[in-house]
Amino acid sequence: AHCVMTDASNKFAFLPHVGESNAIFQFQFDESTGALTPNTSVPVLAAGEGEGPRHYVFHPDIDVLYASNEQGCSITAYNFDSSAGTLSAFQTVSTLPDDFDEENSCAQIHITPNGKFVYVSNRGHDSIAGFATDDTTGALTAIGRQPTEPTPRAFN
């Protein structure tokens, strides 16, 4: 696992896991003790075949979570049910240009404070991919890629 964060209410936490499990583990979070308890309604959400969720960010204004997929070289957008603490995928988009066929993996993901843009690093294509978010649905639209140094991982 590369990332664990709570939602804005501090009631739920998610742990993406690359590799054999290829899933996002969904937890209830006890803010007084810090305990993570598997979410009773859906403790594990399987990711798409070969995606490998690595990091995620919450949209600041709508109930949407975006996960970078290390192995799938993509971002998956999930609707977040803030009462149940569960996710459901509604969109997966590639972080790469259509004509890129070399080895690549994705790492860190960030969202702007106003929630209008999401960025993810491409290790192999050596770029930061950018996406605009829809104000209502949170759906992603690619806006381009910025070249970087070799193998970008973390960025701020």
Give the pairing type, strands 53-58 and 44-46: unpaired
CA distance 65 to 61: 11
CATH topology assigned to domain 5-147: Methylamine Dehydrogenase; Chain H (2.130.10)
Give the residue-averaged pLDDT of 81-89: 96
Q: Which residue has the higher pLDDT, 138 or 42?
A: 138
Give the residue-averaged pLDDT of 81-102: 95
pLDDT at 1 over 80: no
Question: pLDDT tens, 113-128?
Answer: 999 999 999 999 999 9
Q: What is the mean pLDDT of the chain?
A: 94
Give the residue-averaged pLDDT of 133-145: 98
Q: What letter represents residue 143's amino acid?
A: I
CA distance 20 to 1: 11
Contact in structure between 84 and 100 (CB atoms under 8 Å)? no
Taking the model in full, what pTM does it have? Answer: 0.94
Question: pLDDT tens, 3-53?
Answer: 899 999 999 999 998 878 899 999 999 999 999 999 988 899 898 888 999
